[in-house]
Structure formats: C-alpha cells, structure tokens
Structure 1
Amino acid sequence: MLTYILRRVLQAIPVFFGTTFLIFFMVFAMPADPIAGLSGDKTLNPAVADQLRAQFHLDQPFIVQYFLYMKDFFSGNLGVTFSGQSVNDVFAAAFPVTLQLVVMAVVLEFFLAVFFGLFSGLRKGKLFDNMSLVFALVLSSIPVFVAMFLAQFFIAYKLGWAPVTVGANATLSSMLLPAIVIALTVYVTGMRLMRGSVIEARQGDYVRTAYAKGLTHKRIIPVHIARNSLIPVITNSAASFGALIAGTTITESIFNIPGVGNVLFKAIQNSEVPTVVSFVTILTIIYVVVNILVDLLYAVLDPRIRYV
C-alpha cells in the first residue's frame, strides 16, 4: 500500500510542474499588457509602469518569472494581485464558497446516480428503466448555461422558491438551487454506469450462488449487487468533483457566486499571472489527491482489490 501511494505521488510530480509551466506560459503569451490595463482609459505614467513591471517581475524573461514564482510558491507565498491583495487571502476567501457548492452538487449527483441507476438496473426494460433513460437523455442534451438560466428564471424569479442571485454573503441555502442544477446536469453518466454495473452484477456467479444459498433480495441487493456496482460511480463522482472545483465559472457567473470560478475568470481577463497560476496549481493538487484517495477507497468497497 505504501509503495503504491509513493508511486502515485511520484507520478504527480511531473503533472504538477507540467501544469504550472503550461499555464504560466499561456498567461505569459497573452498579447495584452496587464500593467497598461490598470489605468483604464488613461495613460499610465511610464515611470510608474516600469516600477510596477519590476515589482511583478514582468520585466524579466519568461523562464526567470517562472522560477521566481515557483520559489515563492514553495515558500507559501502565492503572490500579490495587481490591486495589491495577497493571492493567499483571495484564494482563502473564494475557495470555501466553491468547495461548499461543489460538495453539495457532488453529494446530490452521487445519490441521484445510485438511486436511479440501481432501480433502473433492477428493472431493466420496464417502465421505470425506460423513463429514467429518457429523462437522463433530455438532461444530458441541455447545455449547462441554459439549465442555469431556466432554473434561475422559473424557480427563483417566477416562483420565488430560491434567491435569484447568491451575492457576497454566500450561504448553503442560497447555493442550493445552483447545486441541484449542477447535480442534475452531471448525474447522467454516473446513473448509466450504475445501471450497467447492476445489470452485470445480477448475472455474476457470486449473485447466483447467493440466491442458491437461499439469501433474500434484501440481503443480496445491498451487499452483493449495489456494493460491487459502486466503484465506477465513485470514480465518476470523484472526477466530477475535480472537474467542478475548477469548472464552476459559468454557474458562479450566472448566480453571482463569489467563488474560485469568478475570481479566476477575472484574473484571466486582467492577465494576473500569480492569481491564475496559483489557483490552477492548487486545483491540480486537489484533483490529484482526490484521485489517490478514491483509488485507496476501492479496496474498502471491493476486498478483491489489492495494491502492490
């Protein structure tokens, strides 16, 4: 087990440096001058502009800027935004909001996928199965931003069942509607995986043996069928978690949620290299750690899995 963990950590090292280098290069290659944009429509004093470029190391070659950034990153300093705020403070304020939103969405997505996938698999070809597949097909065909606007207009604005926008004071109740919409738009893959696994498990020799021993449905379905069918669903939910942590920009923009997506989008517009690279780097680390934890969880769900 320790050997496996060490190997996965070593594999994550080139991913870490490759991601940071690529993102740093992409931001560096942007044609816009971030310093010139600070003054808006006015012309910035050349002396002040040169001072700011020196402060943010923008007068240095690309590779020098990268190594200076990595040096600060490993010392715990994520840099300073062009407005003078510490990137550490900006991330500390934005990440908990996004984390709450994503956790709510992934938990809802997981239970929806397990519920509909399990009962669809147990009732293959019947009315519930057919209706679930049609419902999943409809949801998967609707773009996320369209689903968000529809939910915001009808559920929040017309019916008044939820806040139209979240605003600066984000609470769990105010983010429930966007979390539900996210869950409904991403649960389809998990549901299909669960359904397929349940159908396959029902045809397994170990299930036939359990029935031959006289075990009841109440024992076989949760222990032998559902438990062994959860592995692909958990994998999908973990992938959804990592993707949503870095991919909630549209949702946060529509519902005015002060999370990572909003901050990252504005930082890209302003070519703020420290903010963009720091956010992406931390999100990459989170994604890698989550995937390692999910791999270790496989052995708990399926005793046949062993790591060497």
Structure 2
Amino acid sequence: MPEGHTVHRLAGALTELFSGHRPTITSPQGRFSQGAAKLNGQIALSAEAWGKHFFMPFAPEPTEVTLGEDGPDWLHVHLGLYGSWSFDGDGEFIAVHTIGAPRRRIGEREQLSEGADERRVAEWEPPTPKDTVRVRFAQPHGIADLTGPNQCQVLSGSEVRAVLKRLGPDPLRNNPGDRERFISLVRKRKVPVGQLVMDQAVTAGPGNIYRADCLFRVGISPLRPGNRVSEHRLGLLWDDLVSAMSEGVRDGIILTNPPEYIPLDPIDEQDRRFAVYQRSGRACWRCGNTIAEMAMAGRRLFWCPGCQR
C-alpha cells in the first residue's frame, strides 16, 4: 500500500496538471459513471491529501476552498493495496516537482511510461483506456488514469469532514497542535507503539517502512505499550516522521537508512535504503545485533532488539 508521502505527491501532480482546467472525466470501467458525470465539465481545484486519503474539489467556477468546505463536489480516493494513477501526455504535460516527464506511478516507484521520450517531440494522442480504468482525467495535453482503488467516490463537504474526523494527525501537514495530539493519542493506549504508528486514527500516513525505520531511528521498541513511552520520546518520534516523510515527498522514494549507515557496497536495495525494514536476520547498523521480525496486527514488523528499548 502506498504510504502517505506518495498520496501527497499525487495531490501535487494532479493539481499542477489539472487545476484551473475543466477536464473531461470519464469512467471507462463504468463503476464510477455517475460520479464522473457529476464532475465532468466542472473546474478542478487544488487537490489535497490527508494521510493516505486524496481529495480534489470541483466547482462550476474558479474559487479557493479549504479542505472539507461545503459547496464543491469532492473527489475522494483511497488507493488501498492495489490502486495506482498513471499519467501520459505530450511535452507540455509535465508536473516538474512531482512526476517530471510523463510517468506511471506504481506504489512507491515512478517509471517513465513507454515511449515517453518520443511523445515529447511527436504529436501526442491519448491512449485507449484499459477496461480496468475507474476514472480518466483528460485535458488537451495529457491524461491521468486511476485503476484499482479501494475507495473512489464523490463527497459533500460534510462527508469529507466525517472522513477527516476518523483520522489522526498527518505528519506531512504538521498543523499546530498535531505533535501534542499524537503524543496524547499514543499515551492513552496500552497497545504496542509499533501498532499505534500504523493506526490511521492515531497518525495518518505512515506505513510499514516509516513505522519500522523511524522507531529504529529514535530507539523505541515497537513492542513497548504506548502508555509506557515518555512524552519526550514520542515527540522525537513525531519529529522524525515529519522529517523522513517530507524527504519522501521531496525525493519520490523512501530512503530511511541514516546516511552514516549506508554501505559503500550494499548487498541489495534493503541494505542501501533501509535501517531495519526487510533486513531481518542481518546485522543492525548501529549495534551489530540481529534484526528481528514478527507479525503485528497482520503486518510484518522489523526492529533491532539490541538498541530499541
């Protein structure tokens, strides 16, 4: 499942490519036909993300809105395990800070779409949508296709607010008071902190990689109950989530292994990119103990028993 930084990057890309336009919106698959008809022809406004949830408002005329405001129709998408957006277009269809040249986004990776270099100089025509495409956004210079989402619906402002009410603070939004709210939510629970970091009602956005490596970076055992982690250490964890996930938004890739631990000749991607995630059975970069793995709430958990207390 894409982690929160990916959804924030998608919000940036779709804003750069479609906001201010009246995109043609269709549902080639047919499962979103009513929603597509409602949005089609309206002006796309700036998209936003909260954790792993994507929201894009549409209105008859240009306007500025805040997330969850009444008035616009809000496209709400949660990618889930299998959802992805793909982009295709000509040389003018470029979101410089988010997707670069025409790209296909799958999970945590971005790949140039086939023939992208040729299309930048040749006359571009939109590709025929696959029958798995739930939603297609189209403007004269490019398209964005959504496939396989867990949720895809049009919401009112009050319905958006109801979704947000179920979510914890998002480290990438880092609004005033979010750090204190995160600390309070964790310390109210006897559940292991490793499970709470993945609980979207406690903190919205982190997935398995950020959970594993940020807990390692601040030295907290994922097995320690939330109510037994000090406010100080939870504050450091929040700050590290903010920092690590912001780097993910900037770079488009998760690289959570501290620079001082990146080997000159890594065995594989896990050794280069991660501190403990998917490194079970290998030596901890910090203390030399063996990285452990177990299942927690149905997900694989990785940590160092030697230096996470």
Bucket of the pairwise TM-score, normalised by the shorter protein: under 0.3
More strand by share: 2
Q: What TM-score, normalized to structure 2? A: 0.22
Q: What TM-score, normalized to structure 1? A: 0.22
If asked which structure has higher relative contact order (CA below 8 Å, sep 6+), I would say 1
